[in-house]
């Protein structure tokens, strides 16, 4: 049900029908799954949380992908990821909460207004002592995510943005913003933000984009260097980057994954990271006390094969939620 319209964006509450699945026990929490834990709330009635809380917000938008001449379908991802999350086991005991604050939707191709609406929602979640978990949408989701974080921390705080991505997304925004311009917008407009990209593909970006990254002071690690033998070094570099900043924002573009694992993305690649590597990166960053929030972008259900990418997206989102709320990563733990 749509509950507000304004500025060419729509906010609406999540449907209980998205959160359903197998029920092993109705009272024993150790048997619970996501659909038994999640609390659907009216986004207008957010109030301070007295427990460690993650708050899901969807961004039903692919206008940035359209402007960037990508393959459409990512706007359907927020609800698809919710459905895939619903049946996953919940591994945390009492003292934590998961809420669903609904979706922000882009109307009439008005990307910039939708990003502002998302930013205001992220700000409200952070202001009420919860951790935003944003389900995109195209990677233009990140700019709205950033607006909310920056509003929350103030203009003078140092913000480190960690992007797990095959692409820099540093294209010119002179004509219009898109899913390929967000980080250039941020770095040119915000002198207190820095940018670190994990998984850059050497032949997935033009030389001009590499030059732009260097000129803007971006840090990056090539996809081809991110194998198991280098992971300790990579984690060390991540921690060095985190230590330099007051706060950290984490964003994941699923086209960083090898297309064999994630075929349903806007820009698939035969190269790319493994799910295990991405899981390690998410655990490392999201478990740090400076990290405020997480978004996952570019999952495209309309291009997926047997729901593989949606399911993987849900599993990676689960990793972020478990890390933020202090859960155990040992899958054998009962």
Residue 151 corresponds to which tokens in the numbers above? Answer: 């509003």
Amino acid 228: pLDDT? 83
- Give whole-number Cα distances, 5 to 118, 295, 296, in Å: 13, 24, 25
Chain segment 35-68, per-residue pLDDT in tens: 999 999 987 778 888 789 999 999 999 998 889 8
pLDDT for position 327: 66
Give the Cα separation of 92 and 120 in Å (integer): 29
Q: What is the pLDDT of residue 76?
A: 96
The helix/strand/coil state of 117 is: helix
The pLDDT of residue 100? 97
**Which two three-digit tokens encode residue 84?**
């895939």
pLDDT at residue 50, rounded to an integer:
77
d(CA 197, CA 180): 14
How far is Cα 58 from Cα 73, in angstroms, rounded to an integer?
14
pTM beyond 0.85 = yes
> What span, in angstroms and rounded, lies between the C-alpha atoms of 201 and 119?
29
Predicted local confidence at residue 133, as pLDDT: 98
Q: Which of 102, 108, 95 is nearest to 121 (CA)?
A: 102
Q: Which two tokens stand for residue 241?
A: 């980057």
Residue ranges of domains in the chain: 2-324
- Superfamily of domain covering 2-324: Ureohydrolase domain (3.40.800.10)
pLDDT of residue 251: 98
- The pair of three-digit structure tokens given for residue 53, joined into one six-digit string: 């809380």
Count Cβ neighbours within 10 Å for each residue of 250-268 and write b for 16 or more, e otherwise: bbbbbbbbbbebbbbbbbb
Listed as ranges, residues in the chain with pLDDT below 50 are 1-8, 330-334
Structure tokens given for 78 = 């927020």
Give the pLDDT of residue 333.
38
3-state secondary structure of 264: coil
């Amino acid at each position: 049900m749509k509950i507000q319209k304004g500025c060419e964006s729509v906010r609406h509450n999540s449907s209980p029908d998205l959160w359903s699945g197998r029920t092993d026990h109705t009272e024993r929490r150790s048997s619970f799954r996501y659909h038994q834990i999640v609390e659907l709330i009216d986004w207008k009635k957010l109030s301070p949380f007295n427990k460690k809380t993650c708050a899901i917000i969807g961004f039903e938008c692919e206008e940035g992908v359209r402007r960037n001449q990508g393959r459409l379908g990512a706007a359907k991802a927020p609800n698809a990821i919710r459905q895939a999350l619903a049946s996953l086991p919940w591994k945390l005991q009492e003292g934590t909460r998961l809420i669903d604050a609904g979706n922000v939707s882009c109307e009439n191709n008005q990307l910039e207004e939708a990003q502002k609406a998302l930013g205001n929602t992220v700000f409200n979640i952070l202001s009420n002592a919860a951790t935003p978990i944003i389900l995109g949408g195209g990677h233009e989701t990140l700019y709205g995510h950033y607006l909310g974080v920056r509003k929350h921390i103030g203009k003078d705080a140092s913000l480190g943005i960690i992007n797990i991505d095959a692409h820099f997304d540093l294209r010119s925004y002179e004509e219009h913003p898109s899913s390929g311009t967000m980080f250039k917008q941020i770095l040119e407009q915000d002198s207190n933000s820095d940018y670190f990209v994990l998984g850059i593909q050497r032949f997935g970006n033009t030389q001009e984009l590499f030059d732009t990254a260097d000129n803007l002071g971006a840090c990056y690690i090539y996809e081809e260097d991110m194998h198991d033998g280098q992971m300790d070094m990579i984690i060390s570099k991540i921690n060095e980057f985190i230590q330099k900043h007051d706060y950290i924002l984490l964003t994941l573009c699923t086209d960083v994954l090898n297309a064999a694992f994630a075929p349903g993305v806007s820009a698939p690649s035969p190269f790319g990271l493994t799910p295990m590597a991405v899981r390690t990166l998410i655990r490392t960053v999201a478990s740090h006390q400076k990290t405020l929030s997480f978004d996952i972008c570019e999952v495209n259900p309309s291009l997926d094969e047997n729901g593989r990418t949606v399911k993987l997206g849900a599993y990676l989102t689960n990793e972020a939620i478990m890390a933020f709320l202090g859960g155990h990563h040992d899958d054998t733990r009962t």
